[in-house]
Structure 1
Amino acid sequence: MHRLKSALATVALAPTVLALLPAASATAAGGPAVPFGSHTFPYAAGTLRPGGAQSSLDQQVIDKYNAWKAAFLKQNCGNGWYEVLSPDADHPYVAEGQGYGMVITALMAGADPGAKTAFDGLLKFVLAHPSVNNPDLLAAEQNASCRSVDGSDSATDGDLDVAYGLLLADRQWGSTGTYDYKGLALEHIDAIKASEINPSTHLTLLGDWSDSGDSLHYVTRSSDWMIDHFRAFRSATGDAAWDTIRTAHQNLITSQQSRYAANTGLLADFVVNTDSTPKPAAGQVLESPHDGDYGWNACRDPWRIGTDAVTSGDAASLASARKLNAWIRSKTGGNPGAVVTGYRLNGSAFDSGTDMAFTAPFVVTAMTDPGSQAWLDALWSKLVATPINPSLYYGGSVQLQTMIVASGNYWRP
């Protein structure tokens, strides 16, 4: 769901061997089991990291987190709730934002002594705003009075991050306190599978409102294709359906890049005809005339695809990420300031603005190419130097999360 008012190398990196993270119950004083900066989850062998001391990278992320938190993490609604404010969205509170907040606060635990309090407040808000179609999912939008609006149905991207955040929280703090994080995660994951995955294509639906009789039932949004989340859901549930779901999305990414963006690797905001021959939307199907272009949804794709590449070493994700990296590095001449807010799949720009939502995700794909150290460093410097804009929740939230990944502080529960 659109929420903005405005608007290759062939050698695969060796798959990483995932270290066993310490059990949450092992923390003696109730602190996080995987504190920020512990770097206990190794990335794929050969993954690049921005230049400079690790302690400096970590501190730069903490500084950006503190700015993000001051701008967007609020207690405006009472009831012990925390909310992520989205001033540049259609409504002050959106599911995507609450999902971002839950993932961010769980990952920043250890750097922020208030992370668990904030996480629990966000969770309390989420639980108080169920979807009208499936009460184990989150209603997508809330107004200034903190009431769900616009049908009170769900948006898939928000639910995917809420479930992932709950799995992170279970690992960080255990599930024997106020909230059974693991139990809630499993309920949420099962609800996603039941109401937000197309049972015939195994691809994400736009939300739990898109049932078999809906005209958009065979439309999917590329920014919902969170491959590393699907891996985590498989591990948490033991349900092999998540392997099928993950593979379906990876196959779609590969085929869309090959057929429609062979020279760029770019994906469309929305892909249609998923029941027959999937292809980029031809004009507006949900949000704008650019639904078939690389716009305000697909701009997150390099981050999502790249994150799976660096955390899993998966050959398909690596190939897809490297296509994106090779194109944008060439397109901009290695200048992060030249990334603009919208491209056609052939790589030509249709807009001329700049926004962290478009620039920041490429820092993750840059990590996958051994020859891109200078490009990675330039991107990192751009992200560090760009302040969090309190009026641009979307770009700021993407900026922070890509920095968490690029600094080596992301992990899969």
Structure 2
Amino acid sequence: MRNVRMSLFHKCVSMLCVVLMITPAGFALGANKPFPQHTSYTSGSIKPNHVTQAAMDDAVRSKWSSWKNSFLKPAGTGQYYVQYNAAGETVSEAHGYGMILTVLMAGDDPNAKTYFDGLYRYYRAHPSNNNPYLMAWKQNSSFQNIEGANSATDGDMDIAYALLLADKQWGSNGSINYLQAARNIINAIMSHDVNQTQWTLRLGDWATSGNYNTATRPSDFMLNHMKAFRQATGDARWDNVINQTYSIIQSIYNGYSPNTGLLPDFVVRSGGSYQPAGAGFLEGPNDGNYYYNSARVPWRIATDYLMTGDTRALQQLNQLNTFIKSTTNGNPANVRAGYLLSGGALVSYNSGAFYAPFGVSAMISSSHQAWLNSVWSYTVNASTEAYYEESIKLFSLMVMSGNWWTYEG
């Protein structure tokens, strides 16, 4: 009888092992939306069609592994940060990237929630002096705030959006109430990062006077984020910001880049209208050109169309695709790291921060299929670059592969 019982016991143990082996990783790790997601984007949009879905998923996994090993680092007990340069420093932009990427890779990466919660604790340990729910924009290798403990709007927005995704991924009943944390920072963004006279996104919570008060940055035009903020908080003021953002896109496109669809790094308000910033406005001589900030625009704006089908920026995106295909003769290797809004190249070299986002904008129409396929392959096979380029390449691959998903209240 004992032998029979032992035999049954071993069979049960074996069956349990089999169940554990075949259980999806996301289920085992408590992820509600485990990677890969294979999201259905707006009708009529496309994905690369020259490689399999499994190959695309694996490319994202590979890039994530490389990114994580290079840039995601411990920051003392229970905290993580994203090391964005060789000096070991970080900025809130990088921190927001890290939080979004870890929540998107949950269910595939067994440590995703540990990373995310550690990144959250680091963010909370570095508040802006202007509002404790916004993040001080830069820290040194000793994790001390440097160059002013105020915020940058893009970092704040990505952190907020990541927290909304975390609520959908893991729920908010654990040690961190992700949804409440998201609402706290979203309300702080509205209070301090939004000019509530013009309904524009400020450059940060510090930009409250002079020309800075009415300036905005197109790479911050995360329209899908803002729609999620509206949904998560019920704050109708976000509709004002969304509408104004679309209006500025159209105004700059019509007035300054009708043949290219390119947007400048910075936009200023002058004489009641919006125009590209002048040289030296904030960062350097290319502040009014399509440069290292606006390299992200095709990814940011096109992602909103893919997720929501909102056509208000579609004309600009189509012109952007037409221009870049023409000026490069359909070869991503010919993309240059910066352009005048009229289309002239600023430099002779290439950068992943520039070519990869054009793959996302290509997804809006089947007329760009060959170009999209080329950008995908070029991005996957490109040499490894620095933090900024690798981050943008990873985000672009995530969207191109169909693995971006959005918050739904």
Q: Give the TM-score, by structure 2 length.
A: 0.91
Question: Given that residues 68 and 388 in structure 1 are in contact (C-alpha distance below 8 angstroms), is that contact kept between their aligned partners in structure 2?
Answer: no
Please state how far the C-alpha of 1:317 moved relative to its aligned partner. Answer: 2.7
In 2, Cα distance between equivalents of 1:286 and 1:31: 44
Matched, 1:377 2:373: yes
Question: Given that residues 219 and 274 in structure 1 are in contact (C-alpha distance below 8 angstroms), is that contact kept between their aligned partners in structure 2?
Answer: no
In 2, Cα distance between equivalents of 1:134 and 1:93: 20
What is residue 19 of structure 2 aligned with on the other side? none
User: Mind listing any 5+ residue stretches in structure 1 that lack a counterpart?
Assistant: 1-26
Matched, 1:281 2:277: yes
Please state how far the C-alpha of 1:282 moved relative to its aligned partner. Answer: 2.0
What is residue 244 of structure 1 aligned with on the other side? 240
In 2, Cα distance between equivalents of 1:354 and 1:180: 42
Question: Given that residues 211 and 268 in structure 2 are in contact (C-alpha distance below 8 angstroms), is that contact kept between their aligned partners in structure 1?
Answer: no
Matched, 1:217 2:229: no
Question: Given that residues 198 and 217 in structure 1 are in contact (C-alpha distance below 8 angstroms), is that contact kept between their aligned partners in structure 2?
Answer: yes
In 1, Cα distance between equivalents of 2:271 and 2:144: 36
What is residue 126 of structure 1 aligned with on the other side? 123
What is residue 163 of structure 1 aligned with on the other side? 160
In 1, Cα distance between equivalents of 2:270 and 2:358: 27
In 1, Cα distance between equivalents of 2:55 and 2:93: 30
Question: Given that residues 103 and 162 in structure 2 are in contact (C-alpha distance below 8 angstroms), is that contact kept between their aligned partners in structure 1?
Answer: yes
Question: Given that residues 218 and 297 in structure 2 are in contact (C-alpha distance below 8 angstroms), is that contact kept between their aligned partners in structure 1?
Answer: yes
Secondary structure of the structure 1 residue equivalent to 2:212: coil
1:12-411 correspondence runs (5 A): 31-39=30-38, 41-51=39-49, 52-75=51-74, 77-87=75-85, 92-211=89-208, 213-273=209-269, 276-389=272-385, 392-411=386-405
Secondary structure of the structure 1 residue equivalent to 2:62: helix
Secondary structure of the structure 1 residue equivalent to 2:267: strand
Please state how far the C-alpha of 1:29 moved relative to its aligned partner. Answer: 5.1
In 2, Cα distance between equivalents of 1:68 and 1:372: 28
Question: Given that residues 294 and 344 in structure 1 are in contact (C-alpha distance below 8 angstroms), is that contact kept between their aligned partners in structure 2?
Answer: yes
Please state how far the C-alpha of 1:215 moved relative to its aligned partner. Answer: 3.8
How has the CA–CA distance of structure 1 residues 218 and 159 changed in structure 2, closer, same or farther, with 3 Å as cutoff?
same
What is residue 14 of structure 1 aligned with on the other side? none
Q: C-alpha offsets along residues 100-152 of structure 1, whole Å, 9 cap, x if unaligned? A: 00011111111211111111111111000000111110000001111111111
How has the CA–CA distance of structure 1 residues 180 and 241 changed in structure 2, closer, same or farther, with 3 Å as cutoff?
same
How has the CA–CA distance of structure 1 residues 132 and 205 changed in structure 2, closer, same or farther, with 3 Å as cutoff?
same
In 2, Cα distance between equivalents of 1:32 and 1:141: 31
Letter in 2 for 1:42: S
Secondary structure of the structure 1 residue equivalent to 2:63: helix
Secondary structure of the structure 1 residue equivalent to 2:108: coil
Secondary structure of the structure 2 residue equivalent to 1:279: strand
Q: C-alpha offsets along residues 149-202 of structure 1, whole Å, 9 cap, x if unaligned? A: 111100000000000000000000001111110000000000000000011111
In 1, Cα distance between equivalents of 2:350 and 2:30: 39
How has the CA–CA distance of structure 1 residues 152 and 91 changed in structure 2, closer, same or farther, with 3 Å as cutoff?
farther
Letter in 1 for 2:154: D
Letter in 1 for 2:78: G
Question: Given that residues 218 and 275 in structure 1 are in contact (C-alpha distance below 8 angstroms), is that contact kept between their aligned partners in structure 2?
Answer: no
Secondary structure of the structure 2 residue equivalent to 1:376: helix
Identity of aligned pairs, percent?
44
Please state how far the C-alpha of 1:64 moved relative to its aligned partner. Answer: 0.8
Letter in 2 for 1:145: S
Q: Which has the larger radius of gyration?
A: 2
In 2, Cα distance between equivalents of 1:235 and 1:297: 27
Q: Give the TM-score, by structure 1 length.
A: 0.90
- Cα RMSD for the two superposed structures: 1.4
Please state how far the C-alpha of 1:319 moved relative to its aligned partner. Answer: 2.3
Question: Given that residues 335 and 355 in structure 2 are in contact (C-alpha distance below 8 angstroms), is that contact kept between their aligned partners in structure 1?
Answer: yes
How has the CA–CA distance of structure 1 residues 92 and 327 changed in structure 2, closer, same or farther, with 3 Å as cutoff?
same
User: Mind listing any 5+ residue stretches in structure 2 that lack a counterpart?
Assistant: 1-25
Question: Given that residues 64 and 388 in structure 1 are in contact (C-alpha distance below 8 angstroms), is that contact kept between their aligned partners in structure 2?
Answer: no
Secondary structure of the structure 1 residue equivalent to 2:214: coil
Question: Given that residues 37 and 404 in structure 2 are in contact (C-alpha distance below 8 angstroms), is that contact kept between their aligned partners in structure 1?
Answer: no
Letter in 2 for 1:92: E
Secondary structure of the structure 2 residue equivalent to 1:191: helix
Letter in 2 for 1:35: P
Q: C-alpha offsets along residues 273-299 of structure 1, whole Å, 9 cap, x if unaligned? A: 167111001211101011000011011
